[in-house]
């Protein structure tokens, strides 16, 4: 069982799901360990994402836990793959771990949804817009760290241009479109960039106009990554000085409902492009 000094969100999620299955089966860590010839403390490390597990041992565990959902089991097995060391690992130790976890989530999902009321979503930001946002950090960042964060954000965007890219749905409030981070020219460039990206088949931009009134999730920036199966979906929220990941079944259900409600409030992609174009002309 290989050890990890810095488990990723994906690795921690595997451990969490295994712990949930074990507890639902009413089995102790010692009993679980006996099934695959490991100690109770090793089971604890596994469930914390600090050590890995082979596909064979995982299937033995979940079978004995009584899990009969083969699609879910196969999705858990896919999480054991240690060979997938993505480009984001180059930033390990240089940027907060949450930045790397978000890039990893984006890499593995087939569908992403986001809702933003003040900022343009990171996957749709221009370099100017991203730099202006980082320049406004509560605690001013050193220039070299700003450049690192901008480079990381721009590199994340390649996921939308890769062969067979994931579907990306962005609900953007009109307020975010009218914010002029970096000045008028930077704001105009950002809006024109949105118009260009919205032409991609895998990118859907939906504007929540002021006229729609209140909308669900107002005040939050929400990222919803769909897993291989619904049980492995993940919600990511931005918070001061940290990144929050939600995986509980009730949280996932709540945010699925939030996006359904947002769909009824938002303009269609076509009407959204018209509004973005009109605001760009004003700028």
Summarised one tens digit per residue, pLDDT across range 224-257 is 999 999 999 999 998 767 889 999 999 999 999 9
At residue 282, does pLDDT exceed 70?
yes
C-alpha dihedral (254, 260, 262, 263), degrees to nearest 10: 170
- Cα 256–chain centre separation: 14
What is the Cα–Cα distance from 42 to 52, expressed in whole angstroms?
A: 10
Residue 125 has phi, psi (to 5 degrees) of: -85, 145
**Over residues 188-206, mean pLDDT:** 97
Quickly state the pLDDT bin for 277 (edges 50, 70, 90).
very high
What is the Cα–Cα distance from 231 to 254, expressed in whole angstroms?
A: 14
At residue 218, does pLDDT exceed 90?
no
At residue 1, does pLDDT exceed 90?
no
pLDDT in tens, 111-150: 999 999 889 999 999 999 999 999 887 788 899 999 999 9
Mean pLDDT check: name the lowest of 58-72, 83-97, 172-186: 83-97
| Chain mean pLDDT for the chain | 93
Residue 207 pairs in a beta bridge with: 172
What is the Cα–Cα distance from 248 to 238, expressed in whole angstroms?
A: 17
**Assigned token pair, 14:** 């595997």
109 close to 14: Cβ distance less than 8 angstroms: no
Quickly state the pLDDT bin for 215 (edges 50, 70, 90).
confident
First to last CA, the chain: 57
Count of all residues that appear for the chain in the document: 283
What is the Cα–Cα distance from 146 to 184, expressed in whole angstroms?
A: 21
**Over residues 30-57, mean pLDDT:** 96
pTM score, whole prediction: 0.93
pLDDT in tens, 148-192: 999 999 999 999 999 999 999 999 999 999 999 999 999 999 999
At residue 32, does pLDDT exceed 90?
yes
Q: How many beta carbons lie within 10 A of that of residue 101, not counting itself?
A: 22
Mean pLDDT check: name the lowest of 2-11, 49-58, 129-138: 2-11
What pLDDT, on a 0 to 100 scale, did the predictor assign at position 3? 61
What pLDDT, on a 0 to 100 scale, did the predictor assign at position 217? 75
What is the Cα–Cα distance from 149 to 143, expressed in whole angstroms?
A: 10
What pLDDT, on a 0 to 100 scale, did the predictor assign at position 257? 95
**Over residues 50-61, mean pLDDT:** 95
Quickly state the pLDDT bin for 40 (edges 50, 70, 90).
very high
What pLDDT, on a 0 to 100 scale, did the predictor assign at position 69? 96
Residue 273 has phi, psi (to 5 degrees) of: -60, -40
What pLDDT, on a 0 to 100 scale, did the predictor assign at position 138? 75
Q: How many beta carbons lie within 10 A of that of residue 149, not counting itself?
A: 21
What pLDDT, on a 0 to 100 scale, did the predictor assign at position 85? 79
∠ at Cα 133 (127, 138), nearest 5°?
Answer: 150
């Amino acid at each position: 069982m290989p050890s990890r000094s810095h488990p990723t969100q994906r690795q921690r999620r595997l451990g969490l799901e295994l712990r949930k299955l074990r507890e639902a089966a009413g089995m102790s860590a010692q009993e679980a360990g006996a099934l695959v010839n490991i100690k109770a403390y090793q089971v604890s490390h596994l469930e914390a994402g600090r050590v890995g597990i082979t596909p064979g041992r995982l299937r033995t565990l979940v079978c004995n836990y009584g899990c009969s959902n083969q699609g879910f089991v196969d999705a858990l097995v896919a999480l054991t793959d240690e060979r997938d060391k993505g480009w984001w690992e180059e930033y390990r130790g240089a940027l907060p771990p949450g930045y790397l976890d978000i890039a990893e989530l984006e890499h593995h999902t087939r569908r992403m949804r986001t809702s933003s009321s003040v900022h343009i979503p990171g996957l749709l930001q221009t370099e100017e817009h991203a730099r202006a946002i980082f320049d406004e950090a509560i605690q001013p960042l050193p220039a070299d760290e700003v450049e690192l964060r901008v480079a990381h954000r721009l590199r994340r965007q390649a996921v939308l241009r890769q062969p067979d890219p994931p579907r990306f749905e962005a609900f953007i409030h009109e307020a975010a479109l009218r914010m002029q981070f970096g000045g008028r020219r930077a704001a105009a460039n950002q809006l024109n960039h949105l118009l260009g990206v919205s032409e991609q088949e895998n990118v859907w931009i939906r504007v929540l106009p002021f006229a729609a009134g209140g909308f669900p999730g107002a005040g939050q920036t929400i990222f919803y990554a769909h897993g291989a199966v619904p049980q492995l979906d993940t919600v990511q929220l931005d918070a001061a000085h940290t990144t929050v990941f939600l995986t509980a079944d009730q949280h996932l259900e709540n945010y699925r409902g939030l996006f359904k409600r947002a769909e009824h409030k938002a303009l269609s992609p076509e009407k959204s492009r018209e509004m973005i174009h009109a605001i760009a002309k004003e700028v």
